[in-house]
């Protein structure tokens, strides 16, 4: 009733116009004990001094996949519906200088710890954004660093065959910082959770130069490297499946043994100009082996373009401090009653991987993907992907295979 | 201090009686940033405009089961204590036109995705309450549609042998709507989570006519049907266990093979008159088989009555818009210090199923259950069920078996 | 704007000084609907009348373990990093007289229900603090009753070999109460979750006398007993591993068969004087066997001391009403910018267990642990433990083994 009360007091002459204006203008704490609440992007609480923050939320990725053939090389192809991701998280800020995330996935009626880490942010005046401890992503690839909520395709590209195996989440320590035109992150890690106890270790680093980044334009150039020594089992494998549910490995080195270490080096670039974006990543993988076995070299890359039909720019979703893009923010939200369309985005991707070297015949494959994405509002995205398999040196019958995927994505 | 301030301003003549009344009457947002909070039924947040809502909560069902025999037909009977359900959920409303639920169960130290869906509610002016996508119940049976928090017995009846197998939760799409005197829901589904990838599909629908429903009386009449084609394994089975923990299948078709499809048709009715309710459901199940095998026909039903000793009516918990009853709302809450009793309810159920047809000898069984339920407050319910097995054509020794179950139920 | 409005109304003569004072003094509810919010120890909501409360939070224990030998008695020793605990919880108060906790652990990508119970607290005027139902700890040992967030060592002591096996969490009923100088708890239990259906049962009780306890000093003396009958499998075993991740059982009875029952009796004591604390626990375990097998007797104990280098007293964290210590509360919090150190604590522990009796040669072992703990703030603790294995009658090669453990602990 405050405004109404003030109106009345003014009209009655109990307060002056000047007093009225001053009282109205004063910004109040959002609740009496200074905790602001928002329900828009997760359930979000923040103390007015910013020293404490808590956010609770999750995501659902409901996906359907369909291959246009039932059987390839004598193998039945799995299609169907699945909950690709079903998560809950809590994240927050504690005593100003600490932040944390605890995110759990229950897809497939299984439990997976995703992000579970605590980070110290009190070294910013010393040039370090944070140092984090726990289960977290390793800094290497733009596509892997970006959330599955944000990348413009339903699944990551063929070169994820390398990055999934070497630089996805692991237990360890990560340092990260950024300047006006650059970003750097590096980390030291053991294995991921559940990968056995007598563990291997790895390190990874990523450096980004972004000489131009505003609300409409981005130039993003990056180099990165990763090194990993395996468990005592001395094994490594690289593969890529046609879909998440699928049992069809389009490329697959199988288990490489006597591995001393695996190293990845690569580069990435992204450019945004208004509603159009271009992005590419390249990785060269080297597997050093023991017992006189010769080293192995593999390569992979993808290039992709997106075009926002409704005019939004991915530049507005670029976060240099995290070295990544968030997902497209629709200018207007879909609403039948109020006439909003949401954002519509077209995307295309070409990917290539070569897992053949020496006696390892993992296959050389290429595919092409077209995507249509509908961002109904900041929480809901519908995605449709069509992937066409081009050459495949490992499974000839996989050539010209068409794969259709559909996702209903909710973040809450 | 607002009311007190207004009192003073009125007394001092700074505002008029009329202004005073208007200011007092105006419903204020519960917090300054317009987020209302309630802790009564889960942790509940709602923006004043109703466009956003978040609810966090869960349930615990702690159950004990006891069979009055240790051994039936050479088989030891499992008794004991268990967490029957141990859940957490988040649900809410986003941008007015969307609602979602994410509910996970951890009973038995296992993970199960229960409800995980998002629904569009923006078509109400076109006559559709919502269209939902994700993992959700299939509309067929009142007893299955009702939450385990709400049904007046600890476990569902013998005909759950059909409904559990065919119309429990699955991944898919559901449409639902209602009018003043009717309710309709239909859906199209793949399999449930974790049921393999090369999946079957099904459809289900339910129509309710409720010519009378107020706070004291309900007449609820329904018809329903479901159709499902199995996985490539072409299998189906129907069974019903004596308790959840039990290894004793009272009836059991075993695996029926070469199944082309399974169809259920049925009817349901419920009547409430003050503290008394009657309810019944009937299902006819048809299994069509391939390879010249003849079709199979099975039947099952249950009828039940409840009587609220403390006078509450289940009519007050009838929600036609969801086609179901919520649980009894106690008039007064149990309190030693303030003298409340909670609500006390007696219930009785007779159930019958016939799983014998052709060469399939799943058994014909009947049982009778008496229940005493104590609703201490809206969050806590204690339940005691005594089930007496009547005829059983499959396991003669199960006849006259008495089963006692106890539940401590918490919803938070 | 209330205060400012009142200032103006006073100045303008619309209210009197007396009215002004009265309005200012009146304690306001923290939010308009009387829900207080805090983000400091979990996300905490409380109605102003205290009848409802909800708290949401969790914990992360990120641990590293290292043994100074790779191989003992022909067995490789597992070292490495792990998420020792990764939890989420909801707890609260409902309708004044009820409280509950639901806590789930997802460490190792597995699901474990930890606390999941509801308790009635409406009998306080009859001398009972609460009666709780569900999955909960059994009252026996100070070290087991205390949370892993609070004990001053990374893992519990050698005599946890007895208590883990007999009195850790189980499904059942617990009664608890306390007076000015005493605490008592007792319970009746089935098995823990997932331990099979045809279950054993147990009972446990603990009585504490605390003739002195203030903010600087504590005298805590306790006796306790537990009795348990096993499952129909009639088995029991006691063992203790060198670390949680380790596959090295320092002592291990193996499976003892034909067990009729297991009983534990013991005593515990704790003394705090300013920054110094002493604590000890002793358990005598008796295993009665059937089929004429003679009974087995085992013993174990630990004594430990802690010293807070920064002056905090564990007495301030003593909660007699729960019969336990919470963790040390730092006087000042670590902050580079504001100069706080947090609390620093040194601790030492000597532990001894004898699992040899009759034909059972589980081993007799002793170890010594030194710990350095850094409590950065109420939510974050870093721990470093060095354990030196002394005599070991079972595995001679384990003598003089040094084990190093590190924990990053977050509670949110």
The per-residue pLDDT for range C156-209, each reduced to its tens digit, is 999 999 999 999 999 999 999 999 999 999 999 999 998 766 679 999 999 999
Q: How many Å lie between the alpha carbon of A291 and the closest alpha carbon of chain C?
A: 22
Query: What per-residue confidence (pLDDT) applies to A55?
Result: 97
Helices A2-11 and B2-11: crossing angle in degrees, nearest 10, is 10
Distance CA C102, CA A101 (A): 20
ipTM: 0.91
Q: Is the pLDDT of residue C95 over 80?
A: yes
Do B198 and A80 count as a contact with CB atoms less than 8 A apart?
yes
Q: How many Å lie between the alpha carbon of B59 and the closest alpha carbon of chain C?
A: 9
Q: In C, which residues are within 8 Å of A88 by CB distance?
A: 88
Output the CA–CA distances (angstroms, integers) from residue B134 to A64, A230, B105, B121, C304, in the order listed.
11, 39, 16, 15, 54
Q: In B, which residues are within 8 Å of A335 by CB distance?
A: 95-97, 122
Percent of chain C with pLDDT over 90: 84
Longest dimension (CA), chain C: 96
Q: Is the pLDDT of residue A213 over 90?
A: yes
Distance CA B236, CA B230 (A): 7
Picking from C2, C96, C197, the nearest residue to B78 by CB comes out as C197
Distance CA B191, CA B171 (A): 6
Average pLDDT per block of 10 residues along chain B, 412 residues long: 75 85 61 78 92 97 95 88 97 97 97 98 96 98 98 98 97 97 98 80 98 97 97 94 94 97 98 98 98 96 98 98 97 93 98 97 98 98 98 95 98 98
Q: Is the pLDDT of residue C24 over 80?
A: no
- Higher pLDDT pick, A133 / A3: A133
Tokens read off for C60: 């992360």
Q: How many CB atoms lie within 10 A of CB A324?
A: 21
A30 pLDDT tier (thresholds 50, 70, 90)? very low
Residue of A167, A174, A175 whose CA lies nearest to A192: A167
Chains contacting C (3+ CB pairs below 8 angstroms): A, B
CB contacts < 8 Å between A and B, how many? 153
Do B112 and A107 count as a contact with CB atoms less than 8 A apart?
no
CATH topology of domain C50-411: Porin (2.40.160)
A18 pLDDT tier (thresholds 50, 70, 90)? confident
Q: Please return the burial class of B118, using the count of CB atoms within 10 Å of its CB with bins 0-12, 13-18 and 19+.
A: buried
Residue in the structure block whose two tokens are 């003549």: B13
Do C29 and A26 count as a contact with CB atoms less than 8 A apart?
no
* Three-state secondary structure readout of chain C: CHHHHHHHHHHCCCCCHHHHHHHHHCCCCCCCCCEEEECCCCEEEEECCCCCEEEEEEEEEEEEEEECCCEECCEECCCEEEEEEEEEEEEEEECCCEEEEEEEECHHHCCEEEEEEEEECCCHHHCCCEEEEEEECCCCCHHHHCCCCCCCCCCCCCCHHHHHHHHCCEEEEEEEEECCCEEEEEEEECCCCCCCCCCCEEEEEEEEEEEEECCCEEEEEEEEEEEEECCCCCCECCEEECCCCCCCEEEECCCECCEEEEEEEEEEEEEEECCEEEEEEEEEEEEEECCCCCCEEEEEEEEEEEEECCCCCHHHHEEHHHCEECCCCCCCCCCCCCCCCCEEEEEEEEEEEEEEECCEEEEEEEEEEEEEEEEEECCEEEEEEEEEEEEECCCHHHCCCEEEEEEEEEEC
Q: How many Å lie between the alpha carbon of B62 and the closest alpha carbon of chain C?
A: 6
Contact, B296 vs B184, CB < 8 A? no
Query: What per-residue confidence (pLDDT) applies to A27?
Result: 47
Tokens read off for A374: 């509908």
Query: What per-residue confidence (pLDDT) applies to C49?
Result: 87
Do B26 and A4 count as a contact with CB atoms less than 8 A apart?
yes
CB contacts < 8 Å between B and C, how many? 155
Q: pLDDT (tens digit, 9 = 90+) per residue, A53-63?
A: 999 999 999 99
Picking from A15, A26, A116, the nearest residue to C60 by CB comes out as A116
- Chain A residue with Cα closest to C71: A198
Chains contacting A (3+ CB pairs below 8 angstroms): B, C
Output the CA–CA distances (angstroms, integers) from residue C100 to A399, B376, C92, C149, in the order listed.
58, 15, 6, 19
Distance CA B338, CA B321 (A): 35
Contact, A178 vs A186, CB < 8 A? no
Task: Quote the mean pLDDT of chain A.
Answer: 94
Tokens read off for B327: 């649980």
Query: What per-residue confidence (pLDDT) applies to A31?
Result: 45
Tokens read off for B379: 């969050």
Distance CA C191, CA B48 (A): 47
Do C33 and B31 count as a contact with CB atoms less than 8 A apart?
yes
Tokens read off for C408: 């990053």
A198 pLDDT tier (thresholds 50, 70, 90)? low
Residue of C374, C365, C375, C364 whose CA lies nearest to C403: C365
Map out the domains of chain B as residue ranges.
1-30, 36-411
Q: How many CB atoms lie within 10 A of CB B13?
A: 10
Q: Which strand (E) or helix (H) includes residue A145?
A: helix A142-145
**Which residue of A35, A37, A61, A69 is the best one to mutate when testing the B interface, meaning the one whose CB has the most B CBs within 10 A?**
A37
Q: In A, which residues are within 8 Å of C56 by CB distance?
A: 56, 90
C30 pLDDT tier (thresholds 50, 70, 90)? very low
Residue in the structure block whose two tokens are 């939760």: B169
DSSP class per residue in A231-297: -TT--B--EEESSSS---EEEE---B-SEEEEEEEEEEEEEEETTEEEEEEEEEEEEEESTTPPPEE
Picking from A8, A31, A247, the nearest residue to B31 by CB comes out as A31
Exposure b/e, B327-362, CB count within 10 A at least 16 = b: bbebbebbbeeeebbbbbbebebbbbbbbbbeebeb
Q: pLDDT (tens digit, 9 = 90+) per residue, B84-130?
A: 999 999 999 999 999 999 999 999 999 999 999 999 999 999 999 99
Q: pLDDT (tens digit, 9 = 90+) per residue, A258-302?
A: 999 999 999 999 999 999 999 999 999 999 999 999 999 999 999
Do A94 and C62 count as a contact with CB atoms less than 8 A apart?
no
φ, ψ (nearest 5 deg) of residue B164: -60, -40
- Chain C residue with Cα closest to B5: C23
Residue of A120, A121, A116, A111 whose CA lies nearest to A91: A116
B36-411 is a CATH 2.102.10.10 domain: no
Do B336 and C97 count as a contact with CB atoms less than 8 A apart?
yes
Q: In C, which residues are within 8 Å of A92 by CB distance?
A: 39, 412
Do B14 and C14 count as a contact with CB atoms less than 8 A apart?
yes
Query: What per-residue confidence (pLDDT) applies to A2?
Result: 66
Q: How many Å lie between the alpha carbon of B137 and the closest alpha carbon of chain A?
A: 15
CATH topology of domain A38-411: Porin (2.40.160)
The end-to-end CA distance of chain B, in Å, is 32
Q: Is the pLDDT of residue A28 over 60?
A: no
Say whether B317 sits in a helix, a strand or coil. helix
Contact, B100 vs B54, CB < 8 A? no
Q: CB neighbours of A191 closer than 8 A, spacing ≥ 6?
A: A170, A171, A199, A200, A201, A231, C80, C81
Picking from C76, C88, C333, the nearest residue to A102 by CB comes out as C88
Q: In C, which residues are within 8 Å of A96 by CB distance?
A: 335
Picking from A5, A36, A109, the nearest residue to B112 by CB comes out as A109
Output the CA–CA distances (angstroms, integers) from residue A121 to A51, A126, A139, A177, B206, in the order listed.
12, 10, 18, 10, 55
Radius of gyration of chain A from Cα atoms? 24
Q: How many CB atoms lie within 10 A of CB C75?
A: 14
Q: How many Å lie between the alpha carbon of B285 and the closest alpha carbon of chain C?
A: 32
Q: How many Å lie between the alpha carbon of C265 and the closest alpha carbon of chain A?
A: 36
Q: Is the pLDDT of residue A76 over 90?
A: no
Contact, C390 vs C368, CB < 8 A? yes
Tokens read off for A303: 């290039």
Picking from C14, C86, C247, the nearest residue to A102 by CB comes out as C86
Do C97 and B379 count as a contact with CB atoms less than 8 A apart?
no
Do B47 and A56 count as a contact with CB atoms less than 8 A apart?
no
Distance CA A116, CA C105 (A): 12
List, in sequence order, every residue forming a beta bridge with C183; answer none if it has no partner: C178, C208
Residue in the structure block whose two tokens are 């009272």: B250
Q: In C, which residues are within 8 Å of A28 by CB distance?
A: 1
Residue of C220, C215, C148 whose CA lies nearest to C183: C220
Do C39 and A19 count as a contact with CB atoms less than 8 A apart?
no
Percent of chain A with pLDDT over 90: 84
Q: pLDDT (tens digit, 9 = 90+) per residue, C259-303?
A: 999 999 999 999 999 999 999 999 999 999 999 999 999 999 999
What count of Cα atoms within 13 Å lies in the side-chain half-sphere of residue C380? 22
């Amino acid at each position: 009733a405050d405004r109404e009360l003030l109106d009345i007091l003014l009209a009655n002459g109990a307060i002056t116009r000047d007093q009225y204006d001053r009282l109205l203008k004063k910004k109040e704490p959002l609740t009496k004990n200074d905790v602001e609440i928002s329900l828009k992007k997760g359930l979000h609480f923040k103390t007015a001094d910013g020293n404490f923050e808590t956010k609770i939320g999750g995501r659902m990725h409901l996906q359907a996949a369909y291959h246009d053939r039932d059987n390839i090389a004598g193998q039945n192809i799995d299609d169907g519906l699945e909950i690709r991701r079903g998560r809950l998280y809590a994240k927050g800020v504690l005593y100003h200088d600490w932040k944390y995330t605890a995110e759990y996935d229950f897809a497939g009626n299984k439990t997976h710890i995703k992000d579970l880490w605590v980070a110290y942010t009190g070294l910013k005046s010393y040039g370090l954004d944070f140092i984090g401890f726990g289960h977290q992503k390793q800094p290497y690839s733009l596509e892997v660093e970006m959330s599955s909520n944000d990348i413009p395709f339903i699944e990551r590209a063929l070169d994820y065959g390398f990055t999934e195996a070497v630089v996805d989440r692991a237990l360890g320590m990560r340092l990260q910082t950024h300047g006006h035109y650059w970003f750097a992150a590096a980390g030291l890690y053991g294995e991921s959770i559940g990968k056995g106890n007598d563990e291997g270790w790895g390190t990874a680093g990523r450096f980004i130069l972004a000489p131009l980044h505003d609300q409409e334009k981005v130039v993003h150039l990056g180099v990165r490297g990763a090194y990993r020594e395996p468990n005592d089992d001395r094994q490594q494998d690289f593969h890529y499946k046609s879909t998440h549910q699928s049992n069809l490995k389009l490329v697959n080195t199988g288990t490489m043994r006597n591995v001393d270490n695996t190293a990845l080096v690569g580069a990435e670039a992204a450019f945004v100009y208004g509603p159009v974006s271009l992005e590419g990543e390249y990785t060269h993988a080297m597997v050093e082996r023991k017992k006189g076995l010769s080293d192995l070299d593999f390569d992979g890359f993808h290039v992709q373009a997106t075009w926002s039909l409704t005019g939004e720019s991915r530049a507005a979703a670029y976060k240099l401090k995290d070295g990544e893009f968030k997902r497209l923010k629709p200018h207007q939200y879909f609403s039948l009653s109020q006439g909003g369309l949401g954002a519509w985005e077209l995307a295309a991707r070409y990917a290539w991987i070569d897992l053949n070297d020496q006696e390892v015949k993992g296959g050389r494959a290429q595919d092409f993907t077209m995507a249509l994405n509908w961002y109904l509002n900041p929480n809901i995205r519908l995605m449709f992907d069509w992937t066409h398999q081009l050459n495949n040196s490992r499974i000839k019958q996989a050539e010209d295979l068409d794969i259709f995927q559909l996702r209903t994505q909710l973040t809450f």
